[in-house]
Structure 1
Amino acid sequence: MLGSADAVAFLPSTDLDRSRSFFTGTLGLPLLEQTPFACVVRAGTTMLRITLVESLRPQPFTVLGWDVPDLRGTVAALAAAGVPPLRYDGLGQDSDGVWTTPGGDEIAWFADPDGNTLSLTRFAPPVR
């Protein structure tokens, strides 16, 4: 039924101006619309609606992520822009904050200004 429909992603924010600055300025996502209720950006082919909420308790898991071809370059660019990788005790992340899965995928996490956990993944080539 929805197999060919485009998905729309949602993130909560307590400050839309701050979120707009982060998502458009720091992350480089194009702005589609700003209203008093939401800041809407484009993330690849996905519409991302950053929705104003009165209060927020960030979840302890990833709520949005990107598949990136140059994970380490993206992590370095984010760190240079003041967005450090998140580190998790016991996960075995390397000095760049990257965790390599048993299957060879590389993953790094970072937070938006509201504390939402976001991720970057470089998927390993499929084994043939």
Structure 2
Amino acid sequence: MMGTMTGEAGLRGADGIGFLPTTDLERARRFFGEALGLAVEEATPFACVVRAGATMLLVTKVEELRPQPFTVFGWAVGDIRAAIAALRSAGVEMLRYEGMPQDTDGVWTTPGGEEIAWFHDPDGNTLSLTRFTNPPT
């Protein structure tokens, strides 16, 4: 069910929408729908709408793209190892960062115990997986 905005609550009850740019919508649709297994709700010549849990992710067509050097979207997962294995079986590789102690799966464990791994989409956008020790509610 879509949250709606009310005057007093501001955006507190509204559902978020994530946006990611792509230079090739068909390639992005295949990646998000097939490699990541997300539900593709709509595909137009201008955008591809996928569902990431309760979040709508709008992948929009752009003429030029300069990927940012930081994470632009991520998922909270209960089992990061299983998520990584599923991504790898679909041809997605985890990123490694110089100077960051990552294990053989590419997972970095924060001082608080959270586990994080990163990967790129076909446009070079940095995406992440996080296993929280105390999942947010």
The answer to whether TM tops 0.5 is yes
Residue of structure 2 equivalent to 1:50: 59
Residue of structure 2 equivalent to 1:109: 118
Letter paired with 1:122 = R
Quote the Cα distance in structure 1 between the aligned partners of 2:15 and 2:134: 26
Q: Which has the larger displacement, 25-34 or 98-107? A: 25-34
Letter paired with 1:67 = A
Deviation at residue 81 of structure 1 after TM alignment: 1.4
Residue of structure 1 equivalent to 2:5: none
Structure 2 residues not aligned, in runs of 5+ = 1-9
Quote the Cα distance in structure 2 between the aligned partners of 1:78 and 1:47: 20
Deviation at residue 125 of structure 1 after TM alignment: 3.3
1:33 matched to 2:42? The reply is: yes
Aligned residues: 126
Letter paired with 2:129 = L
Quote the Cα distance in structure 1 between the aligned partners of 2:87 and 2:37: 11
Q: Percent identity?
A: 67
Deviation at residue 58 of structure 1 after TM alignment: 0.4
Quote the Cα distance in structure 1 between the aligned partners of 2:87 and 2:58: 21
Cα RMSD (Å): 0.9
Q: Which has the larger displacement, 44-53 or 69-78? A: 69-78
1:94 to 87, 103, 107: 103
Deviation at residue 33 of structure 1 after TM alignment: 0.8
Task: Provide the secondary structure at the position in 2 that maps to 1:97.
Answer: coil
Quote the Cα distance in structure 2 between the aligned partners of 1:125 and 1:117: 24
Quote the Cα distance in structure 2 between the aligned partners of 1:40 and 1:125: 30
Deviation at residue 38 of structure 1 after TM alignment: 0.1
Letter paired with 1:7 = G
Moved beyond 2 Å, runs of 4+? none
Letter paired with 1:12 = P
